[in-house]
Amino acid sequence: MIRQIVLDGIESKRFQVEMKPIDQVMLEQRAAMFTKRSIKKQSKLKALYETVRMIDLTTLEGADTPERVRQLCIKAKYPVTDHFRELLSNHDEFLDIPQVAAVCVYPSMVPYAAEYLQDTDIKIASVATGFPAGQLPLDIRLADVKRAVDFGADEIDMVINRGAFLSGRYQEVFDEIIAIKEACGEAHLKVILETGELGTYDKVQFASRLAIHAGADFIKTSTGKVSPAATLPVTLVMLNVIADHYDETGELIGMKPAGGIRTAKQAIHYLCMVNETLGSQWLTPDLFRFGASSLLNDVLKQIYKYYTGRYYYDRAYSMD
């Protein structure tokens, strides 16, 4: 049965959502298939390099300090040491390790990230809007966004008010995203659904469509503070919504799975899924990101092993 929900947005904005209920068994079987793809060695190396370029390095702790942000920015600019690079430079096919896509911090830390990342192409993302709960009054969340942008944020990672969404106040959630998108100005907006709290794939699908229609540049699975965070089935639901939206409008919407992606093997599963669901056009940091700081070290280990046949010792990698 097709469910149709009509929402009235601010300034008489309206959109219609038509969804068929998701077949959970088929979805999960389809997602599991991406863990069984056979990838040639050279293609695997390319995927590892692409993964580095798509990572958003993140520090979102109460103990964050300017020095901690500085260290994270150094890692973003220089993922490996000079010694690591020298060990691999003798290999004829060696390509230098790229910088990551972005550094994500709280609004109060944005000025420090802006200082440390000046003259680089690394984006500064900030989790504004009462992260991670999203329960603050809207005027405070809007002020939080504007402050982060004024400080130098290129991207805003907002979290939806799940209390409103799960209570069926979809209009409220829709209007809030529109207002926050306006407050972003030129900054891109990533809308975090916190899929681990939504409960069903149907709700993830609906929340994804709502966020896109309200103006999201990216949709993002999780804050990383709730379990489960990113999973292949949930991400597949969201990718399918993006694909449908592209077919309907020609508009490219980005995707960011976040939380729980710790190994290069997992990352390659996600890249296979993106490629087969959306196409190679999405295999760029402009349209796909990993919110997974711990992922970077494992990817670097796999790159080193590709060139040398052995793993580099753990202390060679920054633990930040």
Q: Answer yes or no: is 4 within a domain.
A: no
Q: What is the structure's pLDDT at 12?
A: 45
The residues pairing with 56 across neighbouring beta strands, listed in sequence order, are 102
pLDDT digits (tens, 9 = 90+) for 192-223: 999 999 989 999 999 999 999 999 999 999 99
Residue 178 lies in a domain: yes
**Contact assessment for residue 111 and residue 148, using Cβ atoms and an 8 Å cutoff:** no
- Give kind and range of the element (H or E) at residue 126: strand 123-126
Higher pLDDT, 133 or 243: 243
Q: Is residue 140 part of a domain?
A: yes
Q: Please give the C-alpha separations between residue 185 and each of 26, 65, 142, in angstroms, as whole numbers.
A: 40, 27, 11
Instruction: Count other C-beta atoms under 10 Å from residue 216's C-beta.
Output: 24
In the chain, how many domains are there? Answer: 1
CATH number at residue 312: 3.20.20.70
Catalytic residues, by residue number, are 157, 220, 256
**What is residue 1's predicted lDDT score, i.e. its pLDDT?**
36
Residue 209 in domain = yes
- Residue 97 counted as domain residue: yes
Whether the predicted pLDDT of 11 surpasses 60:
no
22 domain residue, yes or no: no
Yes or no: say if 116 and 74 are a contact pair by the CB < 8 Å rule. yes
Beta bridge partners of 258: 291
* Domain encompassing residue 145: 28-316
Kindly report the average pLDDT of the chain as a whole number.
Answer: 91
